[in-house]
Amino acid sequence: MVMVDSLRGYHLAMEEFGKSQVHIHNLVNYLTRTEVTTLFVNETEHLFTTSLRATNIGVSHPVDNIVMLRYAEQHAKLVKLFTCLKKRAGDFEYASREMKFIASGIKIGEKLQHLRGILSGSPQFDERRAP
C-alpha cells in the first residue's frame, strides 16, 4: 500500500518537475498495473465550505474510488460523516453515514436520513426524518 498525504503537498513538491497532474496520473497507472493499493488524501482549505470538489488540482479522473470525510453539527455535537462519491467498479451506496474512530478501529453508522445539505457544506437537521 502507498499513501500520499496530501495531494496538495505532492503538488507543491512536484511543481518544479512539471504538471503534478501528469505525475499523479502516471503514479496511479503504474501502481495499478503493479497491483498496489494507493490512498491519496486531499484536505480542503476550509473546515466548513459550501463548495464541493473532489480535488483542488483536478486529478479525480484516474482514481477508482473517492470517499469524502466531512464534519457536520448534529444536536449541538460535531460528527464526522463518510460519503462515497465515486466507485468505478460496481454500484455503491449514495447515503452519508456517521463515522467514529473507536478503540477497535473505525465504525460506520446508520444512514443519516435526517440530515440534508451534507454535500453543500451546510447540513440541516430534518425533524420529519429523525429517528
pLDDT at residue 33 in the model: 93
Report the distance separating Cα 130 and Cα 88, nearest Å: 32
Same domain, 109 and 125: yes
Average predicted confidence (pLDDT) for the chain: 76
Using one digit for the tens of pLDDT, what is the confidence trace for 15-68? Answer: 888 888 888 888 888 998 999 988 777 766 554 455 555 555 666 666 677 777
Average pLDDT over residues 71-99: 79
CA-angle at 126, arms to 45 and 49, nearest 5°:
10
User: What range does the domain containing 47 cover?
Assistant: 1-63
pLDDT at residue 35 in the model: 93
Same domain, 23 and 47: yes
Same domain, 42 and 58: yes
pLDDT at residue 47 in the model: 46
Q: How many domains does the chain have?
A: 2
pTM (2 d.p.): 0.59
pLDDT bucket at 94, cuts 50 / 70 / 90: confident
